[in-house]
Amino acid sequence: MPSPSLGARAVPHLAGLVGLTLLCGPAAAAPPVDPTGTWLTEDGRARVRVEHCGAKQEQVCGFVVWLKSPTDDGGRPRTDQFNPDDKRKPRLALGHQMILGLKPNSEARYEGQIYNADNGKKYDITLWREQSGGLHVKGCMLSVFCGSQTWSRVTDVAAGQLTGATGSADGPKADPEWAQDRTAGRLPAAKAPK
Measured over the CA atoms of residue 56, residue 60, residue 66 and residue 70, the dihedral's sign is negative
Sequence-distant (≥ 6) Cβ neighbours of residue 53 within 8 angstroms: 59, 60, 61, 101, 174, 178, 180
pLDDT computed for residue 143 by the predictor: 66
Supply the pTM of this predicted model. Answer: 0.77
CATH fold for domain 37-153:
Lipocalin (2.40.128)
Domains of the chain, by residue range, sit at 37-153
Q: What confidence tens digit (pLDDT) does each residue in 70-118 have? A: 999 999 999 999 999 999 999 999 999 999 999 999 999 999 999 999 9
Q: For 103-157, write each residue's pLDDT tens digit.
A: 999 999 999 999 999 999 999 999 999 877 899 999 987 767 889 999 999 999 9
Banded pLDDT at 9 (limits 50, 70, 90): very low
